[in-house]
A = this chain, B = another copy of it.
Amino acid sequence: MRDVAILGVGMTRFGKFLERSLKELAREAVDAALASAGLGREAVQAAVVGNAMAGLMSGQECVRGQVVLREIGIGGIPVVNTENACASSSTALHLGWLWVASGLHDVVLVLGMEKLFHADKQRSFRALAGAADVDAIAAYPETRSMFMDYYADLTRAHMRRFGTTPEQFAAVAVKNHWHGSLNPNAQYRNTCTVDEVLASPMIVEPLTRLMCSPIGDGAAALVVVAGERARRVGGRPVWMKASVIGSCKERGADEPEITERVAGRAYEMAGIGPDDVDVVELHDGSAPAEVIAYEHLGLCPAGEGGRLVADGETALGGRIPVNPSGGLIARGHPVGATGAAQVCELVWQLRGEADRRQVPGARVGLAHNGGGLVQGESAATVVHVLAT
């Protein structure tokens, strides 16, 4: 396999953009990524497009990538559309990495895009429900928010087992909102306090609204290139050291939790351990999910996630800053765009271009993205390790 670098990244601000089409959002992200790579559209040899929900949101059930890319002046190249729910564009990056690493293509565009806001709110809820086994959901029609019910179960179990407190979970939301306030691309740019987080409306006990990721619209794009080409053109390449996908275990299998499995393989592929990581973007679909992911990623021992965030170790200025972008909770979570946006943030961090949210001297970054939910486990989890 060849060395692979990310040479350019770009994204739209995440938010509620009822008046902007997927094509417009994609164009903005792609133009920014190509400009950041110093390449023109004609340089793109293949594209992988991640989108989770355009079928139910707009009726564009198929060839989503071709429809968008042709409109923005890219065509005639191999295009693959891929989907892994909330991990769609990190899955796209895995395929883009493989296309380049294998020698098949030298310059691959990876695009994640999603529009989840719609004048008809029920449409968004139906689309999100399609990220789990719809037969299983049909069996439990009383479920309000499947994902938040799932997170609430995990949260209560963590509290019982380790004594983690609502205040510690609230600290995640406070941190990520603070980080988001420093990020011009974030959906939410307001800060909040622990008291405000705890006092915000209860979604599912003990998760309050400010602990949960919102829905959103947005796009993010990455230009993935062969190492030799990256070295030749100069610029500021960031190297892909590991790209690993895992999925939910088979029925009844006795295996470690999915993030542990996937991150373990990614550390091995990159030849590093958790202590070597300088900055992390992880899948904080809810605040407790971030605490639990600390432990599964090996940033702290099991049960110490609550303390880690409450002590400020994962905040900007702390030992291992997590979600400097604001994470899903504050930067936002337009499902199919999230994985690529995490990688945008890491590339900016590793290039030293993250401005007021810069992690000083960051050289190694890890992105963790989860997607879908099948029988109580993430259906797809993707971990990337990047380094200067």
- Partner pick for A60 among B1, B21, B134, CB 8 A cutoff: B134
Chain B residue with minimal CB distance to A73? B250
| Total interface residues in chain A, CB < 8 Å | 67
The stretch from A27-35, A124-132, A149-157, A352-360 touching chain B is: A124-132
The residue from B64, B98, B251, B374 contacting A63, defined by CB atoms under 8 A apart = B374
Is A312 located at the chain interface by the 8 A CB criterion? no
List chain B residues, Cβ under 8 A from A80: 82, 84, 91, 94-95, 245
Contact of A66 among B99, B247, B261 (CB under 8 A): B247
Interface stretch of the complex, out of A51-59, A166-174, A281-289: A51-59
For residue A131, which residues in chain B have a CB less than 8 angstroms away from its CB? Answer: 61-63
- Cβ-neighbour of A78 out of B73, B99, B246 (below 8 A): B246
In the complex, which residues of chain B have a beta carbon less than 8 angstroms from the beta carbon of A59? Answer: 56, 126, 129-130, 134
Which parts of A249-277 form the interface with B (CB within 8 Å)?
Answer: 249-251, 253, 255, 261
Alpha-carbon separation in the docked complex, A21 to B129 (Å): 19
* Contact A55 to B130, CB < 8 A, known contacts A63-B372, A374-B67, A375-B70: yes
Would A380 and B56 be within 8 Å (CB), given that A251-B73, A374-B63 are in contact? Answer: no
Q: Say which residue of B53, B101, B261 sits within 8 Å of A62 (CB atoms).
A: B53
Residue with the greatest number of chain B CB neighbours at <10 A, chosen from A53, A63, A83, A255: A63
CB distance B255 to A79 under 8 Å?
Answer: no
Instruction: Kindly state whether residue A81 has any CB partner on chain B within 8 Å.
Output: yes
Residue of A81, A251, A255, A261 contacting most chain B CB atoms (<10 Å):
A81
A84 and B101 contacting across the interface, CB-CB below 8 Å: no
A55 touches B58 (CB 8 A): no
Give bound CA distance, A246 to B56, whole Å.
26
| Copies of this chain, tallied across the complex | 2
Query: Do A62 and B85 have beta carbons less than 8 Å apart?
Result: yes
Q: Which residue of B lies closest to A68 (CB)?
A: B133
Residue of A62, A78, A95, A247 contacting most chain B CB atoms (<10 Å):
A62
A143 to chain B, nearest CB (A): 14
Residue A104 CB within 8 A of the other chain: yes
- Please report the C-alpha to C-alpha distance between residue A81 and residue B94 in the assembled complex, in whole angstroms: 12
Query: Given A61-B131, A63-B84, A85-B63 in contact, is the A249-B372 Cβ separation under 8 Å?
Result: no
Given the complex of chains A and B, what is the CA–CA distance between A65 and B64 in angstroms? 19
Using A52-B62, A98-B102, A131-B61 as known contacts, say yes or no to A255 and B84 having CB atoms under 8 A apart. Answer: no
Knowing A80-B84, A81-B84 are in contact, say whether A74-B245 is a contact too (CB < 8 A): no
Q: Smallest CB-CB separation from A258: which chain B residue?
A: B76
A74 to B250, CA, bound (A): 5
Interface residues of A in 2-23 (CB under 8 A from B): 21
| Distance to closest chain B CB from A315 (angstroms) | 32
User: Is the pair B372, A70 in contact by a Cβ cutoff of 8 Å?
Assistant: no
The answer to the question of A302 belonging to the interface, with a C-beta cut-off of 8 Å to chain B, is: no
Q: Contact at B75–A380, with CB atoms within 8 Å?
A: no
Q: Which residue of B lies closest to A71 (CB)?
A: B251
Of A21, A71, A77, A79, chain B has the most CB atoms within 10 Å of the CB of A79
The answer on a CB contact under 8 Å between B1 and A103 is: yes
Asked if A76 meets B380 with Cβ closer than 8 Å, knowing A62-B371, A99-B98, the reply is no
Nearest 6 pairs of A and B residues by beta carbon: A61-B130, A75-B250, A55-B55, A63-B372, A102-B102, A62-B85
* Interface pairs (18), CB distance under 8 Å: A53-B61, A55-B56, A60-B134, A62-B83, A62-B131, A63-B131, A67-B374, A70-B248, A70-B249, A75-B247, A76-B248, A76-B261, A78-B246, A78-B247, A79-B84, A81-B82, A98-B104, A101-B102
